[in-house]
Amino acid sequence: KEGHNRVCCYDEVADSKMMDYHYLSQDMDRALQEGEFVLYFQPQFSFATGKQTGFEALVRWAHKDRGVISPNIFIPIAEQNGLIIPISEFVLRKACQVASKWETPLKVAVNLSPIQMRQCAISDLVTETLLETGLDPKRLELEVTESLFIDINDEISADLLLLQRRGISIALDDFGTGYSSLAYLTSFPFDKIKIDRSFVQNLANDDSSMAIISAVIGMGKSLNMQITAEGIEDKRAYEILRLAGVDQAQGFLLGEPRDIEAEPEQTTQTPLL
């Protein structure tokens, strides 16, 4: 239609993704002001006792027109437009506030973005938030991903160590998905390793996933780290992981992430026992 021997490719999917990207990026500030970000909580259980040990806090965008938007979509956008900073502050404060009101002293795990951590001192924010909400530092866990360690600097390491000395635990999330997972294990004394759900989900039909999980358990134990398996969706995987010696379990089988402020009832025992 544009004439003159021109050929133009049009990719409808890519185009709508771009429009979405711009729309969501520009709408994010409004959403923050209007309180559209909400926190869901997914329970975590001890394999040894079957009792709940804590919750992982997972953010959602409850958009006025578009319904619930996944963090997989908006976190990368927020990391680019800078709003990851106020969103992370909201998540941390809300998670600590909610946890401080629970009757049982369960732990709460909060995800940190590497972009956020390179932009501001995380120890100041965490210290202030704990003071403000009165949550015991021993009840807070911070989940960092392997991508943080690709170019970790002394400042970030020192910050994390400081928090660890105050009783906060540091977990390495999505373990095994990076390029040099093993190298990162020696770069910081993590309290916990979270085996990525891709290994857990391949467990049933893939021997190499089991081999990797066994190796991670052995390594984690010798480095004095706890092991959590995430993404447990069926009873069979649960049993295999329990027998293999994994410490904590998380997954849809045991409980999906939900808005527990709306439903204050807590699960404190795995539905399997």
Query: What are phi and psi for residue 61, nearest 5 degrees?
Result: -110, 110
Q: Of the ranges 22-30, 108-116, 163-171, 175-183, which one interacts with ligand C2E (CB under 6 A)? A: 108-116
Q: What angle do CA 29, 33, 37 make, to 5 degrees?
A: 85
**For ligand C2E, how many residues bind (rule: CB under 6 A)?**
22
Under rule CB under 5 A, which residues in 143-202 are in contact with Ca ion? 143, 173-174
Instruction: Determine which residue in the list 44, 52, 53, 111 makes contact with ligand C2E, applying CB under 6 A.
Output: 111
Two tokens, residue 24: 């969501």
User: Is residue 109 within 8 Å of residue 75, measured between CB atoms?
Assistant: no
Q: Are 270 and 249 in contact (CB under 8 A)?
A: yes
Give the number of other Cβ atoms within 10 Å of residue 167's Cβ: 12
Binder among 16, 49, 70, 187 for ligand C2E (CB under 6 A) = 70
Part in contact with ligand C2E (CB under 6 A); list of ranges 107-115, 131-139, 155-163, 181-189: 107-115
What mask, x for binding Ca ion by CB under 5 A, covers residues 109 to 128? --x-----------------
Q: Write a three-state SS string for 88-144.
A: HHHHHHHHHHHHHCCCCCCEEEEECCHHHHHHCCHHHHHHHHHHHHCCCHHHEEEEE
20 to 49, contacts with ligand C2E by CB under 6 A?
A: 42
Contact by Cβ (8 Å): 55, 44? yes
CB of 141 to ligand C2E, least distance (A): 12
Our finding on whether 247 is near ligand C2E (CB under 6 A) is no
Q: Quick one: DSSP state of residue 269? A: B
x/- letters, 171..210, toward ligand C2E (CB under 6 A): --xx----------------------x-------------
Which residues are near ligand C2E by CB under 6 A? 42, 58-59, 70-72, 75, 88, 91, 111-113, 173-174, 197, 230-233, 251-252, 257
